Amino acid sequence: MPSSAPVLRPKKAQPVTASKEQEPISYDINIPYVDVTKENHLRTRYPEYLPTWDKLWFDPLPHFDYEDPALRVKDKSKPSLLTPNVKVTDIQPRIGSILEGVQLSQLSAAAKDELALLVSERKVVAFPNQDLIDAGPAAQAAFMSHFGKPNYQPVSGTVRGYPGFHIIHRDGNREEISRFLEQRTTTTLWHQDVSYEIQPPGYVMLGLLEGPDVGGDTVFAATDLAYKRLSATLCSWLDTLRAVHSSTKMINHARLTGSLVRKDAVDTVHPLVRIHPVTGEKCLWFNGEFITKIPGLKEPEQRWLLDFLMQHIVSGHDFQARVRWQPKTIVIFDNRSTIHSAIVDYIDDDYGAKLRHIFRLCALGEKPIPVYDQFE
């Protein structure tokens, strides 16, 4: 029986590092693939969160039973979470909220269940000035375990001993960013996290350790609202479609650059439209990173459809929320009903990035629920 737990395989062969001339540009400029320098250790206030590459191996994720904690909430007013001293500020009318007067580290189990419901409803919730940032990786991982099983990172840098952490670290990186922007017109990459897994993340935590004074925002779009804006005729067709989500591109890129790979590529067929288990809403489930095929469509038809849906998302500012970060801010978002992109605008004229250091933890959820039962 395959296990989702990490297994040490010290004899696994490592890839040959590509030469500088052959090295491809990063498919995602936010992901570091190389060790940081001694100068990085001196500059950051959180050296224990600098990316590391432990030589672990992960077997394919097996199916598991999942109970969404939001479904345990009886009182929808959320009295354990939204106490009288909590201030709620909505970022946009239909997506995004900021909660002040809450310390995530102090929440009871009932309050965490209510938080899951709030995130399902508002999709993105930001918590400024969190002492959980300084509580260490064990406390952060334990907090997210309430919301689902951890996702172990297949290629990206992690916290040593905690492979569920995905570390985003930019500091300088002039050559890498310059090479990227020679080929790309923007750093944005709209996606849902780890959508290739058989049971992708439901709830995701982002924690900012350090960042620029201005820039480095994250923009989210609500995929249920985006779905509702489409015609009934188009929606009835999209409801019947499936898409292949694959980590092959990511795995191959890591091998080409000589980075550590901890897991073989995963290909999973998901519905293009999924039902949210808490809200009951239909949500588009697609991205610009992992979809490789839509069964039943020819390649030009697939390209047209994905380009249309992506342009619909990108231009839909009336169902988007932009989160502006401050150090020690934690954001928890619903990965099932949102699509998001980091904004790498904190670079100078020579393509040098200002220091930005952030961690991500994913809690795996249910297998995406299709509109029609025959897709199961």
| Residue 109 amino acid letter | A
72: phi then psi, degrees, rounded to nearest 5: -85, -10
Q: How confident is the model at residue 20 (pLDDT cuts 50, 70, 90)?
A: very low
Domains of the chain: 37-48+62-364 (3.60.130.10)
Q: Are 222 and 340 in contact (CB under 8 A)?
A: no
Q: Return d(Cα 160, Cα 215) in angstroms, integer.
A: 28
Q: Return d(Cα 365, Cα 371) in angstroms, integer.
A: 18
| Residue 375 amino acid letter | F
Tens digit of each residue's pLDDT (9 = 90 or more) over 152-196: 989 888 999 999 999 988 766 666 666 666 777 676 789 999 999
Average pLDDT over residues 331-344: 95
Q: Return d(Cα 212, Cα 358) in angstroms, integer.
A: 12
Taking the model in full, what pTM does it have? 0.89
Q: Return d(Cα 173, Cα 179) in angstroms, integer.
A: 10
Q: Are 351 and 232 in contact (CB under 8 A)?
A: no
Those residues whose C-beta lies under 8 Å from the C-beta of residue 374, and which sit 6 or more positions away, are none
Residue corresponding to tokens 């650059």: 257
**Sign of the four-CA dihedral 261, 263, 264, 270:** negative
Tens digit of each residue's pLDDT (9 = 90 or more) over 92-113: 999 999 999 999 999 999 999 9
218-222 and 338-342 as β-strands: parallel, antiparallel, unpaired?
Answer: antiparallel
Count of C-beta atoms within a 10 Å radius of residue 317: 11
Tens digit of each residue's pLDDT (9 = 90 or more) over 37-88: 555 666 788 999 999 888 899 999 999 999 999 999 999 999 999 999 999 9
